[in-house]
Amino acid sequence: MFEWDKYFDYFKFAAIIFAPILWKRVNQALKKSMNTRAIDYITEDFYESLSFQDGELPDLETVRELFYDEGLLINNSFGKPIKFTAETFTMALESQIADSTVLQFMQRELYSKTEIFGKIARRVSVYEYSFADGDSGSLPRGINYIQYILFDDHWRITSMTWNDENENYQIPPEFVD
């Protein structure tokens, strides 16, 4: 029969030594998971807030609130980069809606990879979008590189740069499920 009393002091010693180390690692993993999930929510909110059906309006106030300070958005899909702040980006979209240039819009994330270090994070976000009603087969796609900071216990977007996929720039296979 195994004599537990004989080894009990060794178990107590190991628990005293290793418990704080294990707790620290469990706590770090839990915190990272919570941070990643918070960034997932912010990114999801961004795409959902931009999307709207004909006769509706996008939630552009939420878009503005997701950014830290003025934010920076750069569309690099064309010959020359187009630069916006969160405010000028939403104003441009409001203008396009007002003059009926854009009647509806849908954008959603297809793939993401988030990396966090301390109070900063970056995300590769593959998206697809449509200006038409419903899914009409193969939708245009692109890659969004998004940066975040943790400020006052909340993650906020600091910058976003995107490029739509085209014949010269194809989304890498590892970014497509």
- Please list the pLDDT of the chain residue by residue as tens digits (177 residues): 556 566 656 656 655 665 565 555 545 554 556 789 999 999 999 999 999 999 999 999 999 999 999 999 999 999 999 999 999 999 999 999 999 999 999 999 999 999 999 999 999 999 999 998 656 568 999 999 999 999 999 999 999 999 999 999 999 999 986
User: Residue 160 is part of which domain span?
Assistant: 4-175
Whole-number pLDDT of residue 26? 47
The predicted model scores a pTM of 0.80
What is the number of domains present in the chain?
1
Whole-number pLDDT of residue 20? 63
- Domain of 105: which CATH number? 3.10.450.50
**102: which DSSP letter?**
-
Beta bridge partners of 141: 128
Distance between CA atoms of residues 2 and 4, nearest Å:
6
Q: How far apart, in Å, are the Cα atoms of 58 and each of 53, 96, 105, 125?
A: 8, 12, 9, 20
- 3-class secondary-structure state, position 24: helix
- 3-class secondary-structure state, position 175: helix
Separation of first and last alpha carbons in the chain: 55
